[in-house]
Structure 1
């Protein structure tokens, strides 16, 4: 079907939606904009009435904390930002809980770091928790746990977090509420005549550096991170709808066919939930560089063999997540390595029949098996 029919069908039948709202939408110069919070909750309540479960990924804690602390404290550096998040998070949840309560809806707070989703066991625990909350028709309100997160455990921004939650909750639609009216065909800061795209057919083909210009003043993402999140969603087969979050009733109007925003189509060939999880719930520990022949083999669905490796970067261990790059530096894939970096350097360029002589018995024929490899990963 064409994209208009696809959009209409999915919006009419959406069973579970992840909605992400950023600081640039929720806050003004004085902190949280309560009118925006009220309207957002009212829209989610309407979605609930039509039988759609909603998981809300909400920024705004740090900005809410800054609004309180600026009267008495100077905020600078990561510890102060984390402390501001602790001050603001309770205020953010207070407003949400109060507003959802007016609609007879229970809200629940979930704070996450990457470590909570990196472990398969904890990932499944999170899936079960979300499932129970939605069985109760509650609205989980999710944010990154800024208070305890360190760089290696950060999602980076809530766009990234929201895209990963699509896999956790088995969502069939991702709505990203932004301070813009949608995705512009060009950077509006440098091209005032740039038009909003109603549909993005192939989000992987976009030149994001040309289209997107930096980050918003109060948020940490900007349109660049939103389109990266849309790329990940597309790989799962989940479409993204990017809407103007400060425009009253934008979501409700979109479900009624009145608010276009930007529709990002999902990929026809999707990845498995497991491959999505292994590629995106940990940061790569290093890289292996492969020759042109190996690139072609990987694109044909083959495993990566040691013979095709021409370089190894990093000091990773067996089972680590690594980038697979071409000799030009382009990232071809992400995958879990069967060998630590030291052994990989010893066997790179060698044929499978030679591995036993180099490393001894019981060696893997593949450096990275195709079942543990995600091509065209969003990095």
Structure 2
């Protein structure tokens, strides 16, 4: 049985066709969360639906929505969404807390650790953290692909046992969701990844940003760091209870070996880096080799991109400028420029603070 889980609810699961929140669906999910909490499970809830809720409450004169329009919808809809959650949890004698985040919060070390401490304190005190992207202040260059990405980041940040993605389909299907003969794949092991890729169909909903391809990519990152991922229909009866108690529901992505919390964070560093290091062929080959556990030494570096500080997350690229992983820099960029290509230096990125894809 899982002890700490992150649950993500998709927009289409919690909203009706008219954009209003489907309170009966939320009541069912909140009831399951409350029951699981009573049995000792720690739960963080990632919710979509603020923009969709805002659309249902506030009508614009024009038909074309701008980015600002969506921010207005989010600002209005988030209040209604949290009002419903608060009411439903209060009925069951639980408090919930609103946490609105942006991608920048995962990019900045101070923000990242402050946020983690807040989550852990809320869980310790029995409060249910409810998380959504802060659409009102997020800038175009730093928005999450969707809330699936946000859920993956938080699952890695909190070293969760599992991420459960509640969606409008039964799981990963062996064909198109529009084909009634398509069947749910009960279990996916990324050791056999090639046999499943052809079943991933990118079909985004009208009200959400996420698709199955995104979910698949997030699952691959999480299972590589030892976190189990489940995708299941959110309106299914007892879906959370069944998953947590290891009854077959939806699609389960089998976790690989456990990795450190640092490496889990690094696995989700796409778009959050402060700079990059380009390495020579020998260093690149050694880093991606499964037979060696190698740190990155100055002699293997050929080029530095960006201005960054000691402790910043940086991208590591091969001789062809192709990304091979991420790491935490042991020095600032000016110091590394003095060390490039030199033998005998200390690691610029230590193996313990490196994630190779």
CA distance, structure 2, for counterparts of residue 339 and residue 76 of structure 1 = 43
On the 8 A contact 1:21/1:59 being kept in 2, the answer is yes
Aligned length: 349
- Give 1:22's aligned residue: 10
**Structure 1 residue 370: deviation in Å?**
2.5
**Structure 1 residue 174: deviation in Å?**
1.4
**Structure 1 residue 96: deviation in Å?**
0.9
- Give 2:116's aligned residue: 127
- Give 1:246's aligned residue: 235
Task: Give the root-mean-square deviation of aligned CA atoms.
Answer: 3.0
TM-score under structure 2 length normalisation: 0.85
Matches within 5 A, 1:16-55: 16-31=4-19, 32-55=21-44
- Residue 102 of structure 2 is aligned with which of 85, 105, 113? 113
**Structure 1 residue 311: deviation in Å?**
5.7
Query: CA 1:47/1:203 → structure 2, altered by over 3 Å: closer, same or farther?
Result: farther
Q: 2:346 matched to 1:375?
A: no
CA distance, structure 2, for counterparts of residue 235 and residue 69 of structure 1 = 43
- Residue 159 of structure 2 is aligned with which of 167, 170, 178? 170
**Structure 1 residue 36: deviation in Å?**
1.3
Matches within 5 A, 1:20-169: 20-31=8-19, 32-70=21-59, 72=61, 74=63, 76-169=65-158
Matched residue of 2:164: which SS? strand
CA distance, structure 2, for counterparts of residue 131 and residue 367 of structure 1 = 31
Query: CA 1:103/1:73 → structure 2, altered by over 3 Å: closer, same or farther?
Result: farther
Q: 2:264 matched to 1:276?
A: yes
- Give 2:326's aligned residue: 334
- Give 2:317's aligned residue: 325
> Which range moves more in the overlay, 36-45 or 132-141?
132-141
> Which range moves more in the overlay, 155-164 or 366-375?
366-375
On the 8 A contact 2:55/2:77 being kept in 1, the answer is yes
- The gaps in structure 1 that reach 5 residues or longer are 1-12, 354-363
- The gaps in structure 2 that reach 5 residues or longer are none
TM-score under structure 1 length normalisation: 0.81
CA distance, structure 1, for counterparts of residue 243 and residue 347 of structure 2 = 48
* Structure 1 runs of 4+ with >6 Å offset: none
On the 8 A contact 1:315/1:342 being kept in 2, the answer is no
CA distance, structure 1, for counterparts of residue 55 and residue 64 of structure 2 = 8
CA distance, structure 2, for counterparts of residue 182 and residue 279 of structure 1 = 24
> Which range moves more in the overlay, 241-250 or 286-295?
286-295
CA distance, structure 1, for counterparts of residue 53 and residue 262 of structure 2 = 36
- Give 1:315's aligned residue: 306
- Residue 293 of structure 2 is aligned with which of 295, 301, 305? 301
On the 8 A contact 1:326/1:332 being kept in 2, the answer is yes
On the 8 A contact 2:107/2:273 being kept in 1, the answer is no
Matched residue of 2:89: which SS? helix
Query: CA 1:180/1:168 → structure 2, altered by over 3 Å: closer, same or farther?
Result: same
On the 8 A contact 1:243/1:251 being kept in 2, the answer is no
**Structure 1 residue 275: deviation in Å?**
2.9
Query: CA 1:210/1:366 → structure 2, altered by over 3 Å: closer, same or farther?
Result: farther
> Which range moves more in the overlay, 174-183 or 107-116?
107-116
Q: 2:207 matched to 1:221?
A: no
CA distance, structure 1, for counterparts of residue 162 and residue 63 of structure 2 = 40
On the 8 A contact 1:75/1:81 being kept in 2, the answer is no
